Amino acid sequence: MSDAWPALPLEAWSDTYATLHLWTQIVGKIRLTQSPWVNHSWHTTLYVTARGLTTSPIPDRERIFEIDFDFISHEVTIQSSDGRTAAIALEPQSVATFYQRLMRSMTSLDLHVTINRKPNEVAHAIPFDRNETHRAYDPEYANRFWRVLVQADRVFKQFRSRFIGKCSPVHFFWGAPDLAVTRFSGRRAPEHPGGVPNLPDWIAREAYSHEVSSCGLWPGGGPVPHAAFYSYAYPEPAGFAEARVRPSAAFYSTDLREFILPYDTVRNSESPDQTLLEFLQSTYEAAADLGKWDRRSLERPLTR
């Protein structure tokens, strides 16, 4: 716990990552099902806490409840406003077993929620209640991942404070999954083409209804086989891919159409906070300047 920016090599925890990704989807879909729709799917996300991730309060008739991942005690807790609680252990178990245990615990608290059991944004979407394939859980790496989220969440919130235009919370999207924060120019965007695996096109189009500059943290995969920070613009303005951003280790991925900064570059730098803030600020400036955003009316002076 003493290492604020721990190592997170993807190859060391890829199986745990794949399983945990699907567990967070189950919990996220419970929030999605019970919550009023909020623009850009902001009603579906999870948030970083001092022990893990939380749904925040979810409505259920006259009650509220919340579900928390605890990566210190390694359990999932359900708390209801009527004082009742339940918990299940985070341990090696299949996605199907986790789903069944969580739903039984919900039922024991008189919380009856039915979710779409098909995962989103994954190519091979095995329904949760039939997935016996993904079952790994390494508590050490689950804890490391949460500790990385803690640091990213803290710095992202500092970056977010510089913007007074429309801006998302700093939140964990369980689809990718990634921790993200998104700034908006205020102008409508061209219709998004969709095409995200196992995600209805209308959801992607609603999410990208307006111009954005978005950044986040992703554990990695595919063309980026390591944890990384990213930044992209939609629509991408002309010249964005060639923009000079900081630090020098950042690069533009033609596969993802995003700027990428390896997590290890931040982790091993003399000042991780400053290195990450330079990346976030310089990539945003590239998107905003090339996209001709009204920066004077959207930003708070950095001296405040």
Residue 219 has φ and ψ, to the nearest 5°, of -65, -15
pLDDT by position in tens, the chain (length 304): 558 999 999 999 999 999 999 999 999 999 999 999 999 999 999 999 999 999 999 999 999 999 999 999 999 999 999 999 999 999 999 999 999 999 999 999 999 999 999 999 999 999 999 999 999 999 999 999 999 999 999 999 999 999 999 999 999 999 999 999 999 999 999 999 999 999 999 999 999 999 999 999 999 999 999 999 999 999 999 999 999 999 999 999 999 999 999 999 999 999 999 999 999 999 999 999 999 999 999 999 876 5
What is the DSSP secondary structure assignment for residue 46, as one 8-state letter?
B
In this structure, the number of other CB atoms found within 10 A of the CB of residue 221 comes to 16
Angle of helix 272-290 relative to helix 139-160, nearest 10 degrees, comes to 50
Tokens, residue 1: 């716990």
Question: Helix axis angle, 95-108 relative to 10-34, nearest 10°?
Answer: 30
CA distance 229 to 238: 22
Separation CA 145–CA 140 (nearest Å): 9
Q: How far apart are CA 125 and CA 117, in angstroms?
A: 9
Q: Are strands 85-89 and 75-80 parallel, antiparallel or unpaired?
A: antiparallel
The sheet carrying 178-188 orders its strands as 171-173, 178-188, 210-218, 228-234, 258-262, 251-253
Say if CB 299 and CB 246 are below 8 A apart.
no
- What pLDDT score does 2 carry? 58
Q: What does the alpha-carbon distance between residue 203 and residue 196 come to, in Å, rounded to a whole number?
A: 10
Q: How far apart are CA 279 and CA 266, in angstroms?
A: 10
Q: Residue 296 phi/psi, 5° resolution?
A: -60, -40
Cα separation, 252 vs 111, in Å, equals 46
Count CA atoms within 13 Å of residue 164 on its CB side.
Answer: 10
Read off the tokens for 146: 């949460």
Within the chain, how many helices (H) and strands (E) appear? Answer: 7, 12
pLDDT given for residue 304 in this prediction = 52
Query: What global pTM score does this model have?
Result: 0.97
Rounded Cα distance, 172 and 155, in Å: 14
Buried b or exposed e, range 153-166, using 16+ CB within 10 angstroms = bebbeebbebbeee
What is the C-alpha to C-alpha distance for residues 76 and 62, in angstroms, rounded to an integer? 23
Task: Output DSSP code: residue 176.
Answer: T
Q: What is the pLDDT of residue 273?
A: 98
